Amino acid sequence: MEGYIEDARQMQVADARLDPGGARGLNVNGFELFRNPLKHNDIDFLSHEDVVSRHYPECINTLKEITGARYAFAFDHNIRWAAAEEKKQQTGKGQQVQRPIRLVHGDYTLTSAPQRLRDLAAPPRINDTMRPFLAEGESVIPPELVDEALSDSGRFAIINLWRNIHKESPVLRDPVGYCDAQTIATEDLVVFELHYTDRIGENYFAHAAERHQWYFFSEMTHEEVVLIKQWDSAGAFAASKGSEQDAGSEKPCSLNFHSAFEDPHTKEDAPDRRSIEVRCIAIY
């Protein structure tokens, strides 16, 4: 990526498993860990078709069960594994395996979150993950549901389901850090445009702040999943179109900053992280 300047910082990242303040919650803090063994434990995560046809349905069921959403849809995913990325390994659709990203960000903005929902109500574009799996003219989400979710009385969320896909090893390198949404202020948000061949997206990058409180879950196993809130239209910041901030509000948080980070306690022989993040829409 180009067009930005990195500002590397050393931050204290607490192990949320040992947090005396109790478990961090998806609704308030923007991330939460769950024990969630897979029903299909033989999924080939380097097979695009296997992930979409067998793992996506499990993610949808998990998301509905945890959040209480009426509807849930999985629409995209990333596989991260540094060794496979160096070999330019692909998942069968031409999708490149990627390395973990050490860059603090939120995946959607006031503009790009509702636009992504609208996009999913239209037939998929050439680079969309779900294109090979839908009939001609079919969309990931029925347009009438999107209209309802975007109405004044509607609510939708974009949530990632993050999982370690290395069955033989917990995550020992490049863990993901999560910034408590209650420590994020509006002035921390920096809009960054992402130019794709068929669309323009937006992310939030972050201004570092001493008030930010960071957490991670040590040695995540294959039988655990973290839900990461990328956007919630019911959040104070989202619902007010940016005039209010989430911190201190009685409403849910709108988004979460997250990033892979270098843990100074990582041993030299620690295996590469292998992970999947599945992007999902929840409609309430």
pLDDT of residue 6: 76
pLDDT of residue 284: 98
pLDDT of residue 208: 94
Using an 8 Å Cβ cutoff, are 67 and 282 in contact? yes
pLDDT of residue 146: 98
Using an 8 Å Cβ cutoff, are 120 and 112 in contact? no
pLDDT of residue 199: 72
* Domain locations in the chain as residue ranges: 70-113+156-283
CA distance 125 to 130: 9
- Give residue 215's Cα distance to chain centre: 16
Strand partners, 154: none
What the block records as the tokens of 93 is: 């659709």
Q: 141-166: buried (b, 16+ CB within 10 Å) or exposed (e) per residue?
A: beeebbebbeeeebbbbbbbbbbbbb
pLDDT of residue 142: 98
Residue in 100, 109, 111, 114 with CA at minimum distance from that of residue 147: 114
CA distance 7 to 81: 24
pLDDT of residue 166: 96
What's the full length of the chain, in residues? 284
CA distance 151 to 233: 10
Mean pLDDT by 10 residues, the chain (284 residues): 72 90 84 96 94 98 98 97 65 76 96 97 92 95 98 98 97 98 96 78 92 97 98 98 94 98 96 97 99
CA distance 31 to 43: 25
pLDDT of residue 86: 55
